[in-house]
Structure 1
Amino acid sequence: MDTASLLQYLVSGLTVGSTYGLTALGFTIIFNTTGIINFAQGEFVMLGGMLAVILGQALGLPLVPAVLGAVALTTLAGGLVERLAIRPARGASPIQLVIVTIGVSILIRGLVMLLWGKDTFALPHFSGMRPILFAGAAMLPQSLWVLAVTLTLLAALRAFFTATIHGKAMLACSHDPGAAALVGVNVRRMVLASFMLSALVGAVGGVILAPLTMTAYDVGILLGLKGFAACILGGLGNPFGAAAGGLILGVLEAFGAGLVSSAYKDAITFIILLALLFARPTGLFGARSADRV
């Protein structure tokens, strides 16, 4: 295997893995604030790409307004999910809330299918499709957009959680909602904000990936599963571990497809994940738990 092919696999893996990482980050944001595993996260990714295409085609909007509009509408959808589905069931057990999110996922997917059908849609590339050659490997400009937007979003989220009062309030809710409420934090508002923020992150991932892989009503299923796998791989509750887990999964998937067979790339990813969880259940970057006696 020549160096150019290996580099090509690495670039492809990092590109797709960035989207897995953003999806995993959405899982982590909601889990840290509410303790809920939101299995509708993949549908937020799908909505970002689909709405960008629809706004561009149906309304004739230029690419930038269509992308911004899609992210804004998906963020609003995340808020509606929390207000209409999660908040009324706030007294339910964690398992029941997980089932609620699965139902929301099915509902969103069904509505998108009824509105826009089962066709596959393509979003225009942000900077054209002329490949960039590097050390024998070809890279589309969109891959650079994916990596740049992912790193920028990670830096922005880090600044939000460490340097803003609202970010610190969300972290306080993740550690102890009762204590956060006692010091004046509106826990319900923070839960709403976490769903909207996770929807925003998912929508951004869907928008930047849609020009490369296209989008359809059912792409959120697999993206959600890969994002959840990345979240577990990086360590549930660790935002930047989740992003790293997404990159690792993407690279493993790309090398598995290139060196073994593309038919087994999904199986290879999950087999490696299961093997890791047997050895380290807390994930690569998760803290080992300890029980007080």
Structure 2
Amino acid sequence: MLQDFLQFTFSGLTSGAIYALIALGFCVVHNTMGIVNFVQVDFVSLGGMLMFSALFALGLPMLPGLLLAVAGVALAAMLIERFGLRPSRSDHHLVLIFLTVGLSIILRGVMKLAWGKNRMALPPLTPDEPIRILGATVLPQALWILALTVAAIGLLTWFFYRTPLGLSMRAVASNPTAAAVVGIPAGRVRLTSYAVAGALGGLAGVLVTPITTLSYDVGVLLGLKGFAAAILGGFGSFPGAILGGVGLGLLESLSAGYLSSAYKDVVAFVVLLLVLFVRPKGLLGK
């Protein structure tokens, strides 16, 4: 029983780390622009697609391919913000949210034209030799997911608390009016927020697709779960995004293991609804 519990826990932590990365991307854009960026779900798919091309079309090794894929998604996100959102003549948040829905559909269509509709596969970052930990079997890719997620969270923390641009983004998130008065460039902050969100989504796609399948729409379900994790933790809260992602992943894995895999999505979202009924702002929301 202990081995089973550990097996389910490791699986839940692996999924939860991916959800946390996606949720952090949602929070970054929300805190600087005040909107829900539904293009985030397609950044996950685009990361996997660019990684596939880097490995098999360009013939790059694994590490350069990973860096190129993440940087490519960040660049695509900046182009989407600059030429897709910024020209909008409306500052109404609801209009911008619907605009991100349209941009998401467009990006998904571009990926379908570029890479096709067939499902593909990515190799793991290192050879897939299972590792035994206290009787439970863990794939090296799962350990890479956990390690790189922790590294990304640490880098994100350093960026927001130690760099001038990160401090500017925190200022805009805290008080947009005061930030504008002191001359913080709003356009630069919005562009950076999209780049960070794109990098986080791209990293999630690169890490998760070796243990799932790769297609132009693979990020939709993952992105929705990342969105649910952000709401569960408290939309806009970075610690809440991490807590919500890990909690949702563990809940899915334990419910699949002890109840049925057919109900894991249902159980996760039912608990999400119950939490929101009790605390509408999420676990760590203010």
TM band (smaller chain) = over 0.9
Letter in 1 for 2:14: T
Q: Higher mean Cα deviation, 115-124 or 136-145? A: 115-124
Identity %: 48
The answer for unaligned runs of 5 or more in structure 1 is: 288-293
Measure the CA separation in 1 of the matches of 2:186 and 2:156.
Answer: 19
1:229 aligns with 2:192: no
Contact 1:40 1:224 in 2 (8 A): no
1:91 Cα deviation after fit: 2.3
Letter in 2 for 1:79: M
Letter in 1 for 2:159: F
Contact 2:205 2:219 in 1 (8 A): no
* Partner of residue 81, structure 1: 80
1:90 Cα deviation after fit: 5.4
Measure the CA separation in 2 of the matches of 1:235 and 1:31.
Answer: 12
* Partner of residue 207, structure 2: 208
1:181 Cα deviation after fit: 1.9
- SS of the residue aligned with 2:38? coil
Letter in 2 for 1:98: I
Measure the CA separation in 1 of the matches of 2:242 and 2:229.
Answer: 7
Measure the CA separation in 2 of the matches of 1:163 and 1:59.
Answer: 36
> 1:48-98: CA deviations, max 9, x gaps?
111101221122222222111111110011001101111112524211111
The number of aligned residues is 286
Measure the CA separation in 1 of the matches of 2:255 and 2:108.
Answer: 29
Contact 2:90 2:96 in 1 (8 A): no
Q: How large is the Cα RMSD of the aligned pairs?
A: 1.1
Letter in 2 for 1:256: S
Contact 1:13 1:255 in 2 (8 A): yes
Measure the CA separation in 1 of the matches of 2:209 and 2:58.
Answer: 18
* Partner of residue 136, structure 1: 135
Q: Give 1:104-119 correspondences, 5 Å limit.
A: 104-119=103-118
Measure the CA separation in 2 of the matches of 1:77 and 1:5.
Answer: 41
* Partner of residue 283, structure 1: 282
* Partner of residue 174, structure 1: 173
Measure the CA separation in 1 of the matches of 2:211 and 2:89.
Answer: 38
- SS of the residue aligned with 1:174? helix
Measure the CA separation in 2 of the matches of 1:43 and 1:147.
Answer: 22
- SS of the residue aligned with 1:227? helix
* Partner of residue 48, structure 2: 49
Measure the CA separation in 1 of the matches of 2:27 and 2:83.
Answer: 21
Measure the CA separation in 2 of the matches of 1:177 and 1:278.
Answer: 30
